Amino acid sequence: MSSNRPSKQALFQMLQNDLSSICGELGVDAACGTMKNAHLFKTRRYLGIDNSEEALARSSPLHGHVSSMWANLETVRLPYQEATVIVSTNTLFYVDRPLDAIANLHKGLQIGGTMLLHLSKDKKHWRNIKTHLEGRFTFVDVQYVQNPLSRLYERWVPPTLSQEKAPTRHISFRVIARLLALGERLTSHVSWLNNAVYVKASGNKYGS
């Protein structure tokens, strides 16, 4: 598990489940950080994009089918209509114009391809993003994350108390985090209860 935070554990599980059935030529991890999720991609090639040279430098050594690119999501130029799947998690929250970033990434997605996105449920952006995706994909499946119990836990419990290598006396915090992650899955279809969305947009109909 890549995170000890309940909402991120739930997100990781959703992402793992979706990527396990997506093969094809190229998978793009937009804002990949240290490329810790590269192993989840089942595509023949993996491209990690990030605007932090430091994060890319700390990533695992690159090999044949794994490559990286230093770029901004709003301006990156992906190979046109080449990606089978494009993923962006934990990042669109912090982009000034998330719809512009999504539209730009979409140019690199092949016809019939899939985007997996994690972003804020902020009405200012989410309504326009949802409309944009519904007009360009055959299927748009929305799940919700960051319910009140997870938000409370993540606000008040220091990350070190629920880490896998924490002292034995902190095992209870790890157990609570895992139970809360299960709760995230149980409330993933309740919009009003959660602060963020996870979107699987599949069946891309357009190249841009």
Q: What is the pLDDT of residue 20?
A: 96
Work out the mean pLDDT of the chain and round it to a whole number.
87
3-state class percentages of the chain: helix first, strand second, coil last, to nearest 5 = 40, 25, 35
In this predicted model, what pLDDT tens digit does every residue of 52-64 receive, in sequence order? 888 888 776 566 6
CB–CB of 198/11 below 8 Å?
yes
End-to-end CA distance of the chain: 34
Q: Print the SS3 string covering 107-168.
A: CCEEEEEEEEEEEECCHHHHHHHHHHHHHHEEEEEEEEECCHHHHHHHHHCCHHHHCCCCCH
Contact partners, residue 93, CB within 8 Å, separation at least 6: 119, 120, 196
In which band, very low, low, confident or very high, does the pLDDT at 172 lie, cut at 50, 70 and 90? confident
Q: In whole angstroms, what is the distance from residue 202 CA to residue 139 CA?
A: 5
Is the pTM above the cut of 0.75?
yes
Residue 2 has pLDDT above 50, yes or no: no
Residue 206 scores a pLDDT above 80? no
Contact of 42 with 22, CB cutoff 8 Å: yes
Region 111-124 average pLDDT: 92
> Between the CA of residue 44 and those of 18, 23, 55, 85, 181, what are the distances in Å?
16, 7, 23, 11, 31
Give which of 18, 66, 14 is closest to 39, Cα–Cα: 66
* Mean pLDDT of all residues in 60-89: 87
pLDDT for the residue numbered 162? 47
Position 76 pLDDT exceeds 80 = yes
User: What's the whole-number mean pLDDT along residues 141-157?
Assistant: 91
Edge-to-edge strand ranges of the sheet holding 66-70: 66-70, 45-50, 26-30, 83-88, 109-120, 196-204, 137-145
pLDDT for res 154: 87
Domains of the chain with bracketed CATH = 23-148+189-203 (3.40.50.150)
Q: What is the pLDDT of residue 208?
A: 56
Summarize pLDDT for 5-59 with one digit per residue, the tens: 888 899 999 999 999 999 999 999 999 988 989 999 999 999 999 988 888 887 7
Cα 179 to the chain's mean position, in Å?
Answer: 21
